[in-house]
């Protein structure tokens, strides 16, 4: 039972355009969400997070949007750069638990 | 800060052999996680330690898998006997969680395990 789903295994975007990566979750107890970026042969690195008390969090070119009623979050990258090419994982965590559930990842390719 | 250190980076072994993966978490972190990455399931949580105590091992696939954390600076994940379907990248992650969750995880570079 996949509680965190990333339904797009891959995405290609032109440099300078917006990249939108999506994530859906099923557990209404999740209250903290994170995005991680992973380059080949490296471990995932933290990118941005959002608490369920917010619906948007912004950090430079990266913005995460949370729609609690739809149990959906998205990561926007504007403008996209070739160095953003990587696998992006979303993760969710529930209040009072230490278990971070990750999605299967979306491979983003930014074309120069 | 050296980050989370995992060894070995690559391990190739034959079916039936014992495999031990090692992890040194970031100094001062009190939580340690072992994850396995596969194409089909993404990053799966295998086991979670808090203050060196295993809290949740529900993700450990079988009795062939075991994990220990003898002290705050070292953890091992052992597979005995190993099988080809265990081939994956295994990640260790740590974090500081003084009062509960909602803290980001820091990952090591992973161990690429191939069981022939």
Helices and strands (H, E) in chain B, number of each type = 0, 11
The pLDDT of residue B36 is above 90: yes
As a whole number of angstroms, the distance between CA A14 and CA A79 comes to 9
Q: Which residue has the tokens 């052999």?
A: B17
Among A5, A39, A43, most B C-beta atoms within 10 A, so best to mutate, is A43
Tokens of residue A100, six digits: 């971070």
Residue B106 has pLDDT above 80, yes or no: yes
CA atoms within 13 A on the CB side of B47: 20
The pLDDT > 90 percentage for chain A reads 85
3-class secondary structure per residue, A67-88:
ECCCCEEEEEECCCCHHHCEEE
- Residue B108's alpha-carbon distances to A17, A32, B65, in angstroms, are 31, 22, 20
CB contact under 8 A, B48 and A99: yes
CB contact, 8 Å: B26 with chain A? no
The pLDDT value given to residue A2: 77
The phi and psi torsions of B8 (rounded to 5 degrees) equal: -75, 170
Structure letter (DSSP) for residue A104: -
State chain A's mean pLDDT as an integer. Answer: 94
- Spatial CA neighbour of A59 closest among A70, A75, A73: A75
Distance from CA of A79 to the nearest CA of B (A): 25
Nearest to A34 among B40, B91, B104 (CB): B104
**pLDDT given for residue A53 in this prediction:** 92
Tens digit of pLDDT for each residue in A49-97? 999 999 999 999 999 999 999 999 999 999 999 999 999 999 998 876 7
Mean model confidence pLDDT for chain B:
92
* DSSP calls for B87-101: -EEEEEEEE--SSSS
Residue B9 clears pLDDT 90, i.e. is over it: yes
- Say if residue B99's pLDDT is above 80: no
Q: Search chain A and give the residue with CA nearest B57.
A: A99
Is A32 within 8 Å of B103 (Cβ atoms)?
no
Residue A96 burial (C-beta neighbours within 10 Å; 0-12, 13-18, 19+)? exposed
**What are the counts of helices (DSSP H) followed by strands (DSSP E) for chain A?**
0, 11
pLDDT at residue A25 is higher than 90: yes
């Amino acid at each position: 039972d996949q509680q965190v789903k990333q339904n797009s295994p891959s995405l290609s975007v032109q440099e300078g355009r917006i990249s939108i990566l999506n994530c859906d979750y099923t557990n209404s107890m999740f209250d903290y969400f994170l995005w991680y970026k992973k380059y080949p042969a490296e471990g995932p690195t933290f990118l941005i997070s959002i608490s369920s008390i917010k619906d948007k969090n912004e950090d430079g070119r990266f913005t995460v949007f949370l729609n609690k009623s739809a149990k959906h979050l998205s990561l926007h990258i504007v403008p996209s750069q070739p160095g953003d090419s990587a696998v992006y994982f979303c993760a969710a965590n529930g209040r009072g638990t230490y278990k971070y559930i990750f999605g299967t990842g979306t491979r983003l390719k930014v074309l120069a | 800060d050296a980050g989370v250190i995992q060894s070995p980076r690559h391990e190739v072994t034959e079916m039936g052999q014992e495999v031990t993966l090692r992890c040194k978490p970031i100094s001062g972190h009190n939580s340690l996680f072992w994850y396995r990455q596969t194409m089909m399931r993404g990053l799966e949580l295998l086991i979670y330690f808090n203050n060196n105590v295993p809290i949740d091992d529900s993700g450990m696939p079988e009795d062939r898998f075991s994990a220990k954390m003898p002290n705050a600076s070292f953890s091992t994940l052992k597979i005995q006997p190993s099988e080809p379907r265990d081939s994956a990248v295994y990640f260790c992650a740590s974090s500081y969680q003084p009062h509960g969750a909602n803290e980001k995880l820091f990952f090591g570079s992973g161990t690429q395990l191939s069981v022939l």
